[in-house]
Amino acid sequence: MSATFSLGISILLLLVAFSSSTSGKDDVVDEEKHLRFPPNFVFGAATAAYQIEGAWNVSGKGESTWDRLVHEHPDRIYNGDTGDVAANSYYQYKEDVAILKKLGFKSYRFSISWPRILPTGFANKINAEGIQYYHNLIDELKDNGIEPMLTLYHWDHPQVLEDMGGWLNDEMVYWFGDYASIIFREYGSKVKKFVTINEPKAICKNGYSLGIHAPGKRLSGLGEYMCIHNVLKSHAVAYRIYDSEFRSKFHGEVGVLVDVMAYMPENFEFDAAAETAFQFNIGWTMHPIFSKEGDYPPAMKQLVANRSKAEGFVKSRLPVFDEYWVNFIRGSADFLAVNHYTSRLVVSGTMGQIPSHEHDQGVREIIDSFWKSSASNWLKVVPVGFRYILVQLAKNYGNPPMYITENGVSDLGTLNDDDRIYYYREYLKQMLIAIYEDGVDIRGYYLWSLLDNFEWNAGYRERFGIVFVDYEDPNRQRMLKKSASWWQQVIAAGKIETN
């Protein structure tokens, strides 16, 4: 598409559209040009290693943080579920690739299990069987005309590294760099798009502040900030390794991933509150990489410093990047990978415990009662929020090339998943308007998820797949849902059908 970035609709008009949508009216323009995908647009599906592979302790794989959590704290997971077998994709990957091909997907985003490659956590012992498994998967994809997008880390790092502090230990930056070097060296000739770390904010808040995900630590107001600090460094180290050692040989790209909600002011009185929420939740990881000056957003630095002082801390709970790291992190992305599911309204106020990332913001998030629900209590269906946040990302960060790397909705398990079709249709419409009307440079879309899978602390209760997996069946039978057939038609036609 053209490099011109028009932002052809203002945030004001987006809010007007949002207000209309809550009343059940559809004001989205449904002209033919807004329903057809651009030429060479990439259609893909996404999964993650721990959520589908299983084979948790075979073929030389080491223990991951999620292995440890589900085995030692089954009470933290719905129904005591584990990823020990999951969808059994370690053994059934060829079946999964055949489904991708049948439906017409041209790309597949998957993640590498770090402890399957480095069982001890360190690069002095590389597991040949783990290396070969991912070669087999990649070869199967490419033999079927499907391009891989490889995520180096999707939440399952070796437990031995967590025993030494995990993402709170500065050394994790270099351990991750060693791991990234191996991945680039092994797969760089076959994989041309890499994502370094999936959803930094989710890792750090859920794993090191709220304690609901592995490693299950509750260090509110400190853990999440220390974690993000090292995650950002680790991402940049991996990027610079590829840039200096592998780019000239393999000619691939390395992107950074951000998990985003749309933070929309409840009304114009709360524009500043919504901007603060954006900077705290998105600028936190994006400003250091995409802004001209680098570093954390100025408003975030000031607010956390003020809160820390008021709470009696000697210095800000937000760590400080020195000049070397500011420069090293800035510009460390070839593309922006975007995970988006839902939105929030924002007003002034407070939320969260003291201290915490939530409380530091000085805002309050609201869920509109008109928004359609899903099987996940955090996920409300707000299509207009998708366009809203895509425009914000483009406006704030220079309209970088974007790939939507996760987008989808949960139910409790049905083959006739009309609600999922509705979600995809309406969100895709908003994405296409962002492309055609606002000039946002979106080059591909990966739905979440190909398969029903282990949804972290929700176990197997919440289903996101377009392919049903029978978890009562030892063979993990796969069955196409109605949404899979819908996607097959969309990809074949290159456009969204209105009925």
- Catalytic residue positions, numbered: 406
Pick from 101, 93, 77, 96: which is nearest to 132 by CA?
93
Three-state SS annotation for the chain: CCCCCCCCCCHHHHHHHHHHHHCCCCCCCCCHHHCECCCCCEEEEECCHHHHCCCCCCCCCCCEHHHHHHHHCHHHCHHHCCCCCCCCHHHHHHHHHHHHHHHCCCEEEEECCHHHHCCCCCCCCCCHHHHHHHHHHHHHHHHCCCEEEEEEECCCCEHHHHHCCHHHCCCHHHHHHHHHHHHHHHHCCCCCEEEEECCHHHHHHHHHCCCCCCCCCCCCCCHHHHHHHHHHHHHHHHHHHHHHHHHHHHCCEEEEEEEEEEEEECCHHHHHHHHHHHHHHHHHHHHHHHCCCCCCCHHHHHHHHHHHHHCCCCCCCCCCCCHHHHHHHCCCCCCEEEEEEEEEEEEECCCCCCCCHHHHHCEEEECCCCCECCCCCCCCECHHHHHHHHHHHHHHHCCCCEEEEECCCCECCCCCCHHHHHHHHHHHHHHHHHHHCCCCCEEEEEEECCECCCCHHHCCCCECCCEEECCCCCCCCEEECHHHHHHHHHHHHCECCCC
> What is the largest distance, in Å, between two alpha-carbon atoms of the chain?
61
Q: Rounded distance, CA 460 to CA 82, Å?
A: 9
Contact indicator for 308, 315 with CB cutoff of 8 Å:
yes
Which residues, in sequence order, are bridge partners of residue 46?
Answer: 109, 448
Cβ proximity of 482 and 421 under 8 Å: yes
How many CB atoms neighbour CB 315 within 10 A? 10
